[in-house]
Homo-oligomer: A and B are copies of this chain.
Amino acid sequence: MSTPATRSRENTRARLLEAAAQVFAEVGLDGASVEAVCERAGFTRGAFYSNFESKDELFLMLAASVSEVRVSAVRTRVEELTAAGALVEGCDPIDLVQQIMELGGDDRLGVMLLSEIRIRALRDRQFGEAYLAQEREMVSSIAQIVDDIVSAGLLRLRLPAETAARMLMIIWEGMTVRGAMAGQDDAQLRHSGGAELGRLVQLLIEP
């Protein structure tokens, strides 16, 4: 009766979104034909237009999904760490930051997809607002745990927590992107980016 959203329909949409994530990452939004996405998902365009209005609508949904996943991943991780009492005397702040940063696409394709989203945010005013809003959420989640550590008296910052968190995010992004360019595999990518990030952390905290 009231469409319980047929099981297989949801599945189709999910597969199309997944395929789109890959194809968009590989060749870009404009470079990707609807057909290419469908082919990757194992469908024809009939399935596509039955589920989405246009390539653009699909992209917006995908971007929203990616954002939501990233933000909530960071948030739950922060909550876990806080609840699990990881903020004890001997904890290594560099390690903590890396643990948080490692969530969220730092594989090669993930970086490319995020870049595609970022460039869309640059071109599309409205989309840009949403992108920045989502980023502020992430920053504030990170700032929160930083603040918790400071409040616990484990260390002191040379900057406001928000500012520090923003810098961490930007440096993290910059390093992952450059790592992906150097064609390193994912493990190295994580590691080399982490090294630089560690230096920034040492910079941020007061000895």
Knowing A112-B122, A115-B118, A118-B115, the reply to whether A128 touches B183 (Cβ < 8 A) is yes
- Rounded to whole Å, the gap between the CB of A115 and the closest CB of chain B is 5
Contacts of A107 in B (CB 8 A): none
Contact with A119, one of B119, B131, B171, B174 (Cβ below 8 angstroms): B119
Interchain CB contact under 8 A, B182 and A175: no
Question: Which of A26-34, A37-45, A61-69, A96-104 lies at the interface?
Answer: A26-34
A residues 9-32 touching B (CB-CB < 8 Å):
26-31
Q: Indicate whether A123 reaches chain B with its CB closer than 8 angstroms.
A: yes
Contact with A181, one of B128, B163, B178 (Cβ below 8 angstroms): B128
Measured CA separation A98–B204 after assembly (Å): 21
Interchain CB contact under 8 A, B131 and A181: yes
Contact with A170, one of B112, B119, B175 (Cβ below 8 angstroms): B175
Q: Indicate whether A159 reaches chain B with its CB closer than 8 angstroms.
A: yes
- Rounded to whole Å, the gap between the CB of A35 and the closest CB of chain B is 15
Interchain CB contact under 8 A, B170 and A128: no
Q: Indicate whether A36 reaches chain B with its CB closer than 8 angstroms.
A: no
Measured CA separation A116–B171 after assembly (Å): 20
Interchain CB contact under 8 A, A203 and B171: no
Contact with A28, one of B30, B118, B177, B182 (Cβ below 8 angstroms): B30
Q: Indicate whether A73 reaches chain B with its CB closer than 8 angstroms.
A: no
In the complex, besides A26-B123, A28-B119, A115-B119, 5 extra interface pairs with C-beta distance below 8 angstroms are A28-B28, A28-B30, A119-B119, A167-B200, A171-B174
Task: Please give the residue numbers on chain A whose beta carbons come within 8 Å of chain B beta carbons, in ascending order.
Answer: 26-31, 111-112, 115-116, 118-119, 121-123, 125, 128, 131-132, 135, 158-159, 163, 166-167, 170-171, 173-175, 177-178, 180-183, 196, 199-200, 203-204
7 pairs, A vs B, C-beta closer than 8 Å: A26-B123, A27-B123, A28-B123, A121-B181, A128-B181, A167-B171, A171-B174
